[in-house]
Structure 1
Amino acid sequence: MSARRRRFGLTVEADAAITLHTPEGRSASDAADFVRAHRPWLVSKRALREQARPLSPSKRLIEGETFRYLGRTYRLAIVGDKSENDSVWLAAGRLIMGRELAEDTSRGRVALVDWYCRTGHAWVTERLQPWAARMSVPEPTVDVCDLGSRWGTYRSEENGQGPGRMSLGWPLFQLPMHLIDYVIAHELAHARIPGHDAHFWRLVRRALPEHKERRMELDDLGRRMWMGEII
């Protein structure tokens, strides 16, 4: 309730919860009437919020659990006869993890995230120069790390001289390569335009004409990716 508010208002929150904003002095029956009158709007908006809610799955460090890399699915194989027991690696179409890591879920998670960071960095390093050339921007320093729910960030040098730094979130490397390319193009565009105005999107479109389709695909597929939760 707000003393300054003159009208009722409804907000559908990111988690699909509904907040009713009520002016001071209005009755509960007035509020109920307002909600009933706006029920169709509420139903449609809540459905959209539900569709956009993250569906990030949890994972278990057990034999056969699936993990994605560059759009392909790999099953986890637990081994106990390797000296690289602190490592994770790909071999013969399987993602391999030492048994000691699998039994210590905290260490196992750290090892998996480190694997995505290392392999993702190696992959994007080979991919970056052609995109920078296509967009006529200096090739930035790149790192792969934990960015929370963000796919990427770009930071210019403080003095505005020289290449900036592009950071990519490790979960990005679960996605197909064409969606990683979209994120790379998006972040490189920030080397020239900081915000997301019309000039920014024109620059992205010149480099990637199908950017709208890829953005929609990223929004849909991205929320289904594993974000690091181990159970």
Structure 2
Amino acid sequence: MFSRLRRPVFPDHIVLPLSGGEIAVRLRPDPRARRYLLRLPHDQSGPVLTIPKGGSLSTAQRFAEKHAGWLEEKLAALPQTTPFAAGSVVPVRGILHRIEPSGRLRGLVTAGLDADGHAVLSVPGAAEHTGRKVADWLKRQARADIEAAVARHTATLGVKAAAISLRDTRSRWGSCASNGRLSFSWRLILAPPEILDYVAAHEVAHLREMNHSDRFWALCRQLAPHTPKARQWLKDEGGKLHLFG
């Protein structure tokens, strides 16, 4: 009897030396792939190397090293991320706010205007906690806005959401499960209010139509007449919301 050939087991990633240091390259074995492929996803999740059927780890490593120059050029061209730190400027409901220390040891993050009328986020406490405090504040704001939008749209359609959760998803801005549970990206709070409103309307419409039929899109436009413009905004600008934090 002949034993079955075992598929090779690959590690999650390999380490590729670049001129500025090392970088982890995720490995993605794909039996349908015909060749090795190194790519840099738009979601800022880092480089991925596809390994075709019959591929080997050593060949994958050599392939990555051969294309190290290409990868460095692509990485250099990526837009820079903006941390939630003092001095950074981040959007809140589509309006740019500068993050500033409040000078207080305790308290909550507050949004307001400085002496020159510029929007600011005042953050108390030590500098090393600024990022967490800003992120937590943004998530609370997102939940409040999303819950209000969902309540408004469900009342219009006469439907009910089973639950609402917030996540930091990159593949979608919202989702609706068959059991009526809605999920949204908290980063919608960074976008103009009409964008968040559209995504809420989109998922609420799924409570009535669990599809993307003409009836579904008619419901979307009923709840959010700005649906076409919001969809285009997310296509053009949505990816930038992941560059903060």
TM-score clears 0.5: yes
- Which of the residues 199, 206, 210 maps onto 1:190? 206
Q: Indicate if the aligned counterparts of 1:57 and 1:225 stay in contact, CA closer than 8 A.
A: no
- Alpha carbons of structure 1 residues 146 and 225: separation in structure 2 relative to 1, 3 Å: closer
**Deviation per CA, 1:31-54, whole angstroms, max 9, x where unpaired?**
xxxxxxxxxxxxxxxxxxx9xx98
Are residue 123 (structure 1) and residue 149 (structure 2) matched? no
Normalization by structure 2: what TM-score? Answer: 0.60
Are residue 58 (structure 1) and residue 82 (structure 2) matched? yes
Q: Counterparts of 1:215 and 1:54 in 2: how far apart (Å)?
A: 24
- Alpha carbons of structure 1 residues 110 and 227: separation in structure 2 relative to 1, 3 Å: farther
Alignment correspondent of 1:89? 110
- Alpha carbons of structure 1 residues 135 and 178: separation in structure 2 relative to 1, 3 Å: same
- Alpha carbons of structure 1 residues 223 and 188: separation in structure 2 relative to 1, 3 Å: same
Q: Counterparts of 1:122 and 1:58 in 2: how far apart (Å)?
A: 24
3-state SS, counterpart of residue 143 of structure 1 = strand
- Alpha carbons of structure 1 residues 165 and 150: separation in structure 2 relative to 1, 3 Å: same
Q: Indicate if the aligned counterparts of 2:84 and 2:99 stay in contact, CA closer than 8 A.
A: no
TM superposition shift of 1:79: 2.8
User: Which runs of no fewer than 5 residues in structure 1 stay unpaired?
Assistant: 20-49, 158-163
- Alpha carbons of structure 1 residues 225 and 197: separation in structure 2 relative to 1, 3 Å: same
* Structure 1 counterpart of 2:224, one-letter code: L
Q: Map of 1:1-231 to 2, 5 A cutoff?
A: 15=41, 55=79, 57-59=81-83, 61-62=85-86, 64-84=87-107, 87-92=108-113, 93-100=119-126, 102=127, 104=128, 107-157=129-179, 164-229=180-245
Q: Work out the number of aligned pairs and report it.
A: 186
Q: Indicate if the aligned counterparts of 1:113 and 1:170 stay in contact, CA closer than 8 A.
A: no
TM superposition shift of 1:94: 1.7
TM superposition shift of 1:77: 1.0
TM superposition shift of 1:120: 1.6
User: Which runs of no fewer than 5 residues in structure 2 stay unpaired?
Assistant: 1-31, 50-73, 114-118
Q: Indicate if the aligned counterparts of 1:156 and 1:165 stay in contact, CA closer than 8 A.
A: yes
- Alpha carbons of structure 1 residues 140 and 228: separation in structure 2 relative to 1, 3 Å: farther
**Deviation per CA, 1:54-109, whole angstroms, max 9, x where unpaired?**
857332512x321211111111111333422xx42223342011241x2x2xx433
* Structure 2 counterpart of 1:196, one-letter code: H
Q: Indicate if the aligned counterparts of 1:56 and 1:226 stay in contact, CA closer than 8 A.
A: no
Alignment correspondent of 1:47? none
* Structure 1 counterpart of 2:85, one-letter code: L
Normalization by structure 1: what TM-score? Answer: 0.63
* Structure 1 counterpart of 2:123, one-letter code: M
Q: Indicate if the aligned counterparts of 1:71 and 1:174 stay in contact, CA closer than 8 A.
A: yes
- Percent identity of the aligned residues? 25
